[in-house]
Chains A and B, each alone.
Chain A
Amino acid sequence: QKEVEQDPGPLSVPEGAIVSLNCTYSNSAFQYFMWYRQYSRKGPELLMYTYSSGNKEDGRFTAQVDKSSKYISLFIRDSQPSDSATYLCAMREAAGNKLTFGGGTRVLVKP
């Protein structure tokens, strides 16, 4: 079993819909949680960075962390075709700096 599980998709939604992404993990020592967006042939772009449990909102993006369930989510409101990309969750322990990534979910927002 992988340390971080993420559904590879593809997840196809109509423009304007809410995109819901999630990751589960097994390492209870993970304290920092990130979501990255990666377009084809580009480097990942940091979207959200959160510490421990709770919610964080930034524009159209909301990140949720539930440490008790070892489950994190990213919601994208009012999705646009430009949101079509691969979304990677990543996490790390408090003491280290090495990131553990999920496999990525490919999202397609159709006009």
Chain B
Amino acid sequence: GAVVSQHPSRVICKSGTSVKIECRSLDFQATTMFWYRQFPKKSLMLMATSNEGSKATYEQGVEKDKFLINHASLTLSTLTVTSAHPEDSSFYICSAQRGLGEQFFGPGTRLTVL
């Protein structure tokens, strides 16, 4: 399968700071990338869909000013959690769609806000 990387894999930050997470498709170009959030023992919750060169489409209930998404190139999308608070602590996972087909997921980023 195709390879998608995420960086950092783990981040701990203080309340009120902003955290940026990078998602890269390493061996294919992804016109569409997705950001998910996963709570312990739960399935993935789609936060937003990101298309290269255009604004992200956010799911209902996801604050776009809180979770800033930038899809600057066909291989890179970033998620910035602004003014993070303890309730933002979670496992964030990105995925990249190859063409109109499969979605490949990154390894995830564990965010802990103190």
Contacts and interface: CB of A to CB of B under 8 A. Distances in A.
State the majority secondary structure of interface residues on A: loop
Interface stretch (B12-20, B62-70, B76-84, B94-102): B94-102
Contacts, number: 47
B104 A46 contact: yes
Given A99-B46, A101-B43, A104-B43, A44 B110 contact: no
Interface in A63-111: 88, 97-99, 101-104
Nearest to B6: A43
B44 A101 contact: yes
A46 B95 CA distance: 11
A60 interface: no
Contact of B103 (A41, A42, A99): A99
Contacts of B108: 41-43
Interface of A: 32, 34, 36, 41-46, 49, 88, 97-99, 101-104
